[in-house]
A = this chain, B = another copy of it.
Amino acid sequence: MDTAKNMEGVAIDPTTILKNCGLKRTLGRVKILDILIELDRPITGKELLNRLGTDAVDPASVYRTLNVFFDLEVVHKIEGADNINRYALNRGEDMHPHFTCRTCGKMECLTMTTFPHIDIDSMEEGYLVERESISLVGLCPRCRL
């Protein structure tokens, strides 16, 4: 079985990721990366903690790790649906909107949807736009009954 690769054809396994950004390979970080690699949608710190389950990593360490990963661009941080941060592995994908179900709280990446172009030039002079995000909220098929 092949190792997963990202869009640039780079292998994505915890050890390689950690080595590539000069972080020590600790059990907690590996477990967190295992979960994020497995998943194709952004999850909250809470869900991550739940998934880590019994062999718990301390919440403080989880949040610290996520922030380190975010600073090193190992993960994306998605804010905005319900004021809870969600994290997803940075696979080098294009920017895309996210859909969050109001009931079950699951967030999904709308990778099939083209990211609409915002006419930034029509903004007043002098603004520097660093991040753009589009967020849809509603009901997913399962929660819609």
Contact = CB atoms under 8 A, between A and B. Distances in A.
Contact of A126 (B79, B125, B141): B141
Interface string A72-97: 00000001111111000000000001
A138 interface: yes
Interface string A108-131: 001011101111101111111111
Contacts of A116: 116-118
A76 B22 CA distance: 44
A80 B135 contact: yes
7 contacts: A79-B83, A99-B123, A113-B119, A127-B140, A127-B141, A130-B138, A132-B134
Contact of A83 (B83, B102, B122, B141): B83
A97 B119 CA distance: 11
